[in-house]
Copies of this chain bind each other. A is one copy, B any other.
Amino acid sequence: MASSLSTEEKIKAAAKQVFISKGFSGCTSRELAKASGMNVALVNYYFRSKNKLFQLIFQTVMEEFFESMVSVFSSDLPLKEKLKFLIEREYAFLSKHPEIPRFIINELSRKDTDLIELTHVLPVIYNTGVIEQAIEAQKKGEMRRVDMVGITLLVVSNCQYPFMAKPLIKNLHNLSDEQYNHHIELHKGMVSEMIIGYLFPTEIKNELK
């Protein structure tokens, strides 16, 4: 067992799982405690309150969430390959952590949540030089003139949604877990081809939209 971890780490690890799958308001202090084999008092001894524990975990999940993304942008690859690589990495990350996008989007949607500052993430990406890369490709007419928001939306929509909507699509099409996972794997290739095909049309047009 993971009994080599300290009590504090055990609570944090268990709470992370519970929070991610049930959300802040979907679980109780006692559930968090029980999930780590501890009791309620112990959770508050180490983390002061359910809310403090949540904030801590939300922060780390957010970091994991953006980590792989930024690292891909920093890689030394031509733009088209970067994008393919990014999609590949996103699918790999989401296969391991399929519940994270839903968790993050939900908690960011809570009106009463302490707003988490994300604006530091974008500058990091900007500093990787990927933007200049894109602008140059667009000037050369190799790449469609889509801004950063549009590209972000294209990529994350097609990567994250299939994992988020698993229970919906599974139910709708009457699929088993294995069948759905197979569809996701298939979908990864389609998405990559579709997005690349859209952003980098083969027929070089002088005026790309």
A152: which B residues are within 8 A, CB to CB?
A: 169, 172-173
A119, closest chain B residue (CB):
B174
Q: Are A148 and B173 in contact (CB under 8 A)?
A: yes
In the bound complex, do residue A150 and residue B183 qualify as a contact, i.e. CB atoms below 8 Å apart?
yes
**Which segment of A35-43, A47-55, A127-135, A191-199 sits at the interface?**
A191-199
Contacts of A121 in B (CB 8 A): 172
Contact status A118-B171, CB under 8 Å: yes
Tell me which of B25, B172, B183 contacts A25 (CB under 8 A). B25
CB distance from A96 to the nearest CB of B (A): 18
Q: Which of B146, B153, B183, B193 is A169 in contact with, Cβ under 8 Å?
A: B153
Contacts of A5 in B (CB 8 A): none
Stretch at the interface among A72-80, A87-95, A156-164: A156-164
Main secondary structure of the interface of A (DSSP, over half): helix
A193 to B150, CA, bound (A): 13
Instruction: Report copies per complex.
Output: 2
Whether A171 and B108, one on each chain, are in contact in the complex, defined by CB atoms closer than 8 angstroms, is yes
Q: Which residues of chain B are within 8 angstroms of A104 by Cβ–Cβ distance?
A: 168
Is A122 on the interface with B (CB-CB < 8 A)? Answer: yes
What's the minimum C-beta distance from A174 to chain B, rounded to whole angstroms?
5
Q: Which residue of B lies closest to A118 (CB)?
A: B171
* Interface status of A205 (Cβ within 8 A of chain B): no
Check: A82 CB closer than 8 A to any chain B CB: no
B171 in contact with A119 (CB, 8 Å): yes
- Cβ contact within 8 Å between B183 and A149: yes
A residues adjacent to B (C-beta < 8 A): 22-23, 25-26, 102, 104-106, 108-110, 115-119, 121-122, 146, 148-150, 152-154, 156-158, 160-162, 164-165, 167-169, 171-175, 183, 186-187, 190-191, 193-195, 197-198
Q: A23-B25, A25-B26, A108-B167 are in contact. List 17 more A-B contacts (CB 8 A).
A: A23-B26, A25-B25, A102-B106, A105-B164, A105-B167, A109-B167, A122-B174, A150-B187, A153-B162, A153-B169, A154-B191, A154-B194, A156-B161, A157-B157, A157-B161, A160-B165, A161-B161
